[in-house]
Structure 1
Amino acid sequence: MIHARPGDQQRHLPRAYQLRLRDLVRHPTAGVPSRACRGRALVRLAQTPYGRSLYAIGESPRAARLVGISVRAYPLLAFAGAGLVARAAGVVLAARAAGATADNGTTMLFPALAAVFLGATAIRPGRFNVFGTVFGVALVAVSVSGLTLAGAADWVNPVFNGAALAVAVGLSTLLRRQAGRGGD
């Protein structure tokens, strides 16, 4: 009978095939602020009066005004907060690129918009939401990575992102109209 000690099975494998716990929990440094922002946005939008007020303004500004919600102040605060998050993302991008130019993030615009609008069609059809956006980001990233690995030409990725954006905006608009009519 052979008794093996813990780790004996992996000792004779090449280093590339050895599985360690630290390899499973490793994550990119830029992912930490992303997870923090995603969690905070989810809680803030779903669990606070501020977030519910934003949803109410998005659904019907007139009804929100009649209930007493400041239809001008809440979106202004939302855009200011989005600006702060964009500023932090710009700092992270500049740090990762070790420099900055005026067009550093322009290649990320189409995929981001496509992901947001795809998210509005995925989880809660017709409504923009955090989980839907995460789903949209994953879908766009996996699709673009698949095209790159398949050896697609350089022009295919921007065309795919534009087509995904057009389809997502069309679907989101259609679902929003159907929700407004009561699903008839």
Structure 2
Amino acid sequence: MDRSEISQADNSHLNENLSDTSHTRSTASAVVISRRARRARPTFQNYIYKIFRSLASDLRISKQAMDALNSFTFDMFEKITSTSFQMIKIKQRSTLGAAQVEAACKLILGDELYKEVQDKYKKAMLKYEKSISAEIQDKAEPSQNDPKVAAPKDEVAPAPAPIPKGKAKK
């Protein structure tokens, strides 16, 4: 027997084991895929909590109530997005716009609730735009009290204080 025959004889059981484990490789990749598919669901709990605090700072909310509100918010988000995307497909467009989202909200919420939501939306957008414009103006116009900002060139620097007569320099 030469070396190749010996190595083939010794490794013959390995080939049988490899053929038996071929299905485990696919399950291993299935496990990886299922882990990817099991991605964490986004939560709105931080935002719900901030809104809750702004409305009722002295009250508390239980974990179950927070979970219910989070679930409701996520469900509404899913309904609005799916309806919006259906509208895009019907109109044969490729870009989701504000008009499609507003129409989807109107379909899902109904007229009365949609009007309330639209009023709140407009107020929030105005408040946001005002804060952004104020922030831009603050960056453009440095404050008068800021010591790091140099005085404008038009102003004259104050004259040095006069030296008292009795304390003249020698």
Q: Same fold (TM over 0.5)?
A: no
Task: Determine which structure has more spread, i.e. the larger CA radius of gyration.
Answer: 2
Query: TM-score, length-normalised on structure 2?
Result: 0.27
Query: TM-score, length-normalised on structure 1?
Result: 0.25
